Structure 1
Amino acid sequence: MKKGLSALVVAALLAGAGSAALASPLTPDPGRGGKARKAASGASCTARSYRGLRTTRYAYAAIVRRSARAYGRPDGRPFASFERINVNGVSTVFGVLGAVVDRHCRPLWYRVQLPLKPNGRLGYVRPWTVSLWPVRTRIVVDLSDRRVRLYRSGRPVLETRAAIGTTATPTPRGHYYVNQRLVPSDPSGPFGPGAIGISAFSEVLTGWTQGGPIAIHGTNRPYLIGGAVSNGCIRVRNDALRRMFAAADAGTPVVIRA
């Protein structure tokens, strides 16, 4: 498991957040192992203020250490619990949106995206229950032109055609994140060589296993790419899936738009 950012580094990047978010020189650079410059002496924040931790160039994943509880608001009551390993045997990960900080810019709570229904579910987790890790990739799925685009540090690095959900089983629009990457036992099967699980669920197939989770995956029927033929998942050609699978770490923001 990744070690994650130290408390000093997290405080430094939060001290440099605010309206400029991650553009501050105090921001850790994911391309250099997540290290940050030392926070300026005397850096301070307004106690219990909120600092955003996501732009189109950088984002952060929160990896559950042992267990974590999600709260509807800071100091509220927990509504969900998560273990270090999820039902599919991989690390439990949240997408980080920002943090509530103390006057020294140390995080008191992280505001995170959760892999729960309804789609787009948010919550707050305690910082000592997770490890923060920088992510510099982003995925955008355009349903209208049936294309998937992968960005690194804000720059496009991959564009590929995709198959999307049918009218009866549509691909859900919204803001999500990569919460798991899975390798099927049969690479020649319907998922191809891999599946990039995202924190979205089908809004119509409620009786499916695990609630009908949505994924970007490969295919054994490439001739259907470009059509509206799936149960809600996004299918891409296997060569594109391999590249995307290798690049898009857990925590990568995913936008699905019309």
Structure 2
Amino acid sequence: MVAIAVKIAKLLAGTLLVIAAGSVLVRLVRPPVTSAGSNSPTPSPSIVVDSPSPSPSVVPACAQPTLIGTVDQARVSARKSADPKAKVVASFGRINADGAPQVFDLQAATAGSDGKRWYRALLPVRPNGTTGYLPATALRVTNTQYRIRVDRPHLNLTLFKGCDQVKRFPIGLGKESTPTPDGRYYIIALLKPPIRNSVYGEYAYGLSAFSDVLKNWTGGGIIGIHGTNDPSSIGDRKSHGCIRMYNKDIRQLVPILPLGTPVDIV
């Protein structure tokens, strides 16, 4: 099975439907934006870049919601530092290549050289783990308490809400020649193949992760989490890097996870 690419629609001859808040290719199914289903602004985060070590009384990291930034203007540039004159790392519009709202995993906040708030964000570009600084004025900030942890050695995916484990699912991963990359990533799109028995199953999440091997694949070799038409591949390593789930399992995630949900692959 091929890895999900940014241009995944091409792989299925344009038959995929994008399911993303505020975006439609064929029809819209609106996923949650935050764990509470609210678009209201998020309070300023307590984490600041280069801040002193927290005291023992600070809330555990797992209990702190992940901030999600959605592009709220025609275009925004991520920069090397929190400075409007700093070198541009990458530029983004409101909508990504899948037709979904452009979102970012906001990892920290800091005051910029202009005296305004900026966010250090994980970017959906190569190489994996690339970060850049985005001005807060260009983003609509929400949050989610949900996160996903993919355990490669044990071939399972765990859904967490805060520090609580919600559910664990068996998965299939990349084969030895096209391994599933480790690292911190996040969900950038939710796609639904309308064709029954698709190789991607009932649903497919595009991630900000890229294959370390398939660099010339359509869309640059983006990694995803998706269902399957081959249940025997669950519990095995057969894919081109994508994370496979039983259709009945990924179906449970669709009403819960907003774009921007963090995914830790370990």
TM-score range for the pair, normalised by the shorter chain length: 0.7 to 0.9
Structure 2 distance, partners of 1:146, 1:15, is 32
Structure 2 partner of 1:40? none
Structure 2 partner of 1:144? 153
Residues 101 and 5 of structure 1: CA distance in aligned 2, closer, same or farther (over 3 Å): farther
Structure 2 partner of 1:132? 141
Report how far residue 69 of structure 1 moved. Answer: 0.6
Structure 2 segments unaligned to the other structure (5+ residues): 1-21, 23-32
Structure 2 partner of 1:29? none
Q: Does the 8 A contact of 1:93 with 1:180 survive in 2?
A: no
Structure 2 distance, partners of 1:186, 1:107, is 48
Structure 2 partner of 1:37? none
Of 68, 74, 79, the residue aligned with 1:61 is 68
**Letter paired with 1:55:** A
Give the helix-richer structure, 1 or 2: 1
Structure 1 partner of 2:43? 10
User: What's the TM-score once normalised by structure 2's chain length?
Assistant: 0.77
Residues 95 and 15 of structure 1: CA distance in aligned 2, closer, same or farther (over 3 Å): closer
- The alignment status of 1:193 with 2:202, answered yes or no, reads yes
Between 1 and 2, higher relative CO (CA 8 Å, sep ≥ 6) is seen in: 2
Structure 2 distance, partners of 1:84, 1:125, is 14
Pairwise CA RMSD of aligned residues? 2.5
Report how far residue 5 of structure 1 moved. Answer: 4.4
Q: Which string of whole-angstrom CA distances, capped at 9 and with x for unpartnered residues, describes residues 50-93 of structure 1?
A: xxxx9323111100112211001111121211000111111000
Structure 2 counterpart SS, 1:10: coil
Q: Does the 8 A contact of 1:178 with 1:251 survive in 2?
A: yes
Of 57, 75, 95, the residue aligned with 1:85 is 95
Matches within 5 A, 1:1-258: 1=22, 4-6=39-41, 10-11=43-44, 13-14=45-46, 19=54, 55-57=61-63, 58-66=65-73, 67-75=75-83, 76-101=86-111, 108-257=117-266
Structure 2 distance, partners of 1:149, 1:65, is 31
* Equivalent residue pairs, number: 222
User: What's the TM-score once normalised by structure 1's chain length?
Assistant: 0.79
Structure 1 segments unaligned to the other structure (5+ residues): 25-53
Structure 1 distance, partners of 2:107, 2:265, is 17
Report how far residue 16 of structure 1 moved. Answer: 10
**Letter paired with 2:106:** V
**Letter paired with 1:71:** R
Residues 10 and 107 of structure 1: CA distance in aligned 2, closer, same or farther (over 3 Å): farther
Report how far residue 185 of structure 1 moved. Answer: 2.8
Structure 1 distance, partners of 2:210, 2:254, is 20
Structure 2 distance, partners of 1:124, 1:156, is 31
Q: Does the 8 A contact of 1:217 with 1:241 survive in 2?
A: yes
Structure 1 partner of 2:15? none
Structure 2 distance, partners of 1:195, 1:162, is 14
Report how far residue 245 of structure 1 moved. Answer: 2.3
Q: Does the 8 A contact of 2:193 with 2:200 survive in 1?
A: yes
Q: Does the 8 A contact of 1:178 with 1:250 survive in 2?
A: yes
Q: Does the 8 A contact of 1:56 with 1:138 survive in 2?
A: no
Residues 197 and 109 of structure 1: CA distance in aligned 2, closer, same or farther (over 3 Å): same
Report how far residue 188 of structure 1 moved. Answer: 1.9
Structure 1 distance, partners of 2:43, 2:236, is 44
Residues 256 and 15 of structure 1: CA distance in aligned 2, closer, same or farther (over 3 Å): closer
Structure 2 counterpart SS, 1:240: helix
Structure 2 partner of 1:30? none
